[in-house]
Amino acid sequence: MLSATFMDYAMPRADAFPAFTTEISEVPSTTNPLGLRGGGEGGTTPALGAVVNAIVDALAELGVEHVELPATPERVWSAIRAARGTRTGAQDSPMSRI
């Protein structure tokens, strides 16, 4: 960055953009019964892997190597119990105490 501070930084404005045109190309999906395609999901896809990896990393010292998705409290608790080699059951669940 060539600016000394953000006060010196020239923020881009609408008149700095080149002219462009928008084209719509509708190609229905053959794998969806409604013919729809996803549009904005691309930015959220990595979040799931990051969260699950964080859960597994946090539980690694307990011997947990995998948590089934979705990582509900029940599944996390089951993974901990399985890593300890103990039997899981409804009475052992943290959710049963609520």
- The number of helix segments (H) and strand segments (E) in the chain equals 2, 0
Question: 5 versus 20: which is more confidently predicted?
Answer: 20
CA distances to 41, 63, 88, 89, 96 from 71, rounded to whole Å, are: 20, 17, 16, 17, 17
Residue 54 lies inside a defined structural domain of this protein: yes
- The yes-or-no verdict on residue 24 having pLDDT over 80 is yes
pLDDT score recorded for residue 96? 56
Owning domain of residue 67: 45-87
Contact 95, 74 (CB under 8 A): yes
Place of tokens 């904005």: 40
Mean pLDDT of 55-66: 96
pTM exceeds cut of 0.85: no
* Angle value at C-alpha 29, between 23 and 33, nearest 5 degrees: 135
Assign 89 a pLDDT band (cuts: 50, 70, 90): low
Mean pLDDT of 13-21: 86
Residue 32 lies inside a defined structural domain of this protein: no
Residue 79 lies inside a defined structural domain of this protein: yes
pLDDT score recorded for residue 94? 58
